Amino acid sequence: MLVLGYGRIGKALCNLLAGFRGDFTVTARKEKDLTYISVNGYKGIHTEDIAKEIHKFDIIINTIPAIVLTKEVLDRVKQDAIIIDLASIPGGTDFEYAEKRGIKANHALSLPGKLFNYSASSVIYKILRENSILESE
């Protein structure tokens, strides 16, 4: 799993995923944030390196409120990957191009800001279950 961005939402999401002992990598653009990522025991990559690394991930969760999942980056995404975009408007995914490529991209923009953390995490859980990433109970 790849978490794009280590701001407020990215940090909260990483804490949640770590609690589930999830295997994830998180991106950041500041060296200070990459240091915190490492200190917290997470795998980190620089945001500039997304295009080089994105082919490795089955689930991509964006928290960056700028288009980072561009056509060029989406061309490197696995065909069966799932994208969940949680960023504030305008979001960070070229949804039109993702759809053309047949990539499942869930448009949940501003979700964490509108809901409590528990509610946001339950929606992410539901999306993952609906896409057969997690087994049903």
Q: Tens of pLDDT along 68-109?
A: 999 999 999 999 999 999 988 778 999 999 999 999 998 886
Q: How far is residue 54's CA from residue 2's CA, in Å, rounded to a whole number?
A: 8
135 in any annotated domain? no
**Percent of the chain whose pLDDT exceeds 70:** 83
Residue 115 has pLDDT above 90, yes or no: no
> What CATH number has the domain bearing residue 96?
3.40.50.720
61 in any annotated domain? yes
136 in any annotated domain? no
Structural domains in the chain (count): 1
Structural domain boundaries, residue 72: 2-130
Q: What tokens were used for 120? A: 């946001």
Q: pTM (2 decimals)?
A: 0.80
pLDDT value of residue 53: 97
Asked if residue 65 has a cis previous peptide bond (ω within 30° of 0), the answer is no
What's the chain's average pLDDT?
A: 87
37 in any annotated domain? yes
What is the band of 116 on the pLDDT scale with cuts at 50, 70, 90?
very low
